[in-house]
Amino acid sequence: LLPRDVSIVEMAPRDGLQNEKDLIPTAKKITLIDMISECGFERIEATSFVSSKWVPQLADAAEVMAGIKRRPGVRYAVLTPNMKGFEAAMAAGADEVAIFASASESFSQQNINCSIAESIERFKSVAEASRARGVPMRGYVSCVVECPYEGAVSPDAAARVVESLHALGCYEISLGDTIGRGRPEEVDQMLVTVLSYAPATMLAGHFHDTDGWAIDNIDVSLKHGLRVFDASVGGLGGCPYAPGAKGNVDSLEVAQFLSRKGYRTGLSPEKLEEAARFAQSLRSAG
Ligand code: HMG
Ligand code: MG
């Protein structure tokens, strides 16, 4: 893998596909991940070990993990909301797991069917198990600036969850603008507060791009010292439990923006474009 100043974590196979209504054949998901593996990413979020009732699209998580060609140097990460997901992820050979909480109570209930406090409690066993097995654990905070059900979310609410995930031992915490409506001023304020609970080197930006602010939000985050951003080839993405959420910011767009600013990402624009074309072809019509 090439040297890099900023890392982009690729989200299309997980965040990108989870919102697609028509079931995508497992073989195509595997092809997508294999194409993404050629782009130069260090980390790819491959799928989720969640309830298939909640996210039917990713019910084939184990088959996907079994089918991909693992590129040396690439970490294949998965979402694990509880011990059942963690065990399945380990059986499938995931290199990294992620727990996901929310800064808003309503989104927590809608997405993982429990309160924020209950979710942190539930994550304790996942954290212990991942520590025991030496598997890196990432954390997400959804709705760091806005919630689809409650509207504006206070920076303090986001910071409290960051603090909890940090205490659980997440090596990195990804800050999710789940519905992509955050303005750069709001992201700036949120970061000022959050940075008093965790250093910039432990934070990542996860911006959905509903209103076209994602690149500006990345720019603000760079000024605060963040050097990891989640993005998705072809701009795929969205959460079935976040009505109105559009895709993650496009990986190629982020790579080009960063390169204009003089940062190396280690990614190949040509390969990103190829993967984006294939990702786009998997979208349901309409
Ligand atoms: P629940 O219904 O409260 O859980 O769901 P439960 O423990 O009562 O289990 C219900 C059923 O699910 C049982 O099956 C369990 O075995 C099964 P049954 O006995 O009825 O046949 N089950 C599982 N199956 C497979 N894998 C598992 C698992 N756990 C339970 N891990 C639960 C609670 C958390 C499981 C559920 O709400 C869930 O799966 N939610 C996931 C929702 C999701 O994946 N959302 C999208 C990802 S988050 C996101 O996109 C945001 C992010 O991108 C950042 C951002 O943009 O903000 C990360
Ligand atoms: Mg997301």
206 lines ligand 1 (CB under 6 A): yes
**Ligand 1, from 11, 14, 50: best to mutate by most atoms within 8 Å of Cβ?**
50
Pairwise pLDDT comparison (156 vs 238), residue with the higher score: 156
Q: What are phi and psi of 231, to 5 degrees?
A: -155, 175
- Which residue from 186, 169, 176, 188 is spatially nearest to 15, judged by alpha carbons? 176
37 lines ligand 1 (CB under 6 A): no
pLDDT at 285: 66
Over the stretch 29-47, which tens digit does the pLDDT of each residue have? 999 999 999 999 999 999 9
68 lines ligand 1 (CB under 6 A): no
Over the stretch 126-146, which tens digit does the pLDDT of each residue have? 999 999 999 999 999 999 999
CB of 90 closer than 8 Å to CB of 130: no
pTM of the full structure = 0.97
Strands 146-147 and 151-152, by their bridges, are: antiparallel
> What is the set of active-site residues?
239
Strand ranges for the chain from DSSP E: 7-10, 43-48, 75-79, 96-102, 137-142, 146-147, 151-152, 172-177, 203-207, 228-231
Over the stretch 253-268, which tens digit does the pLDDT of each residue have? 999 999 999 999 999 9
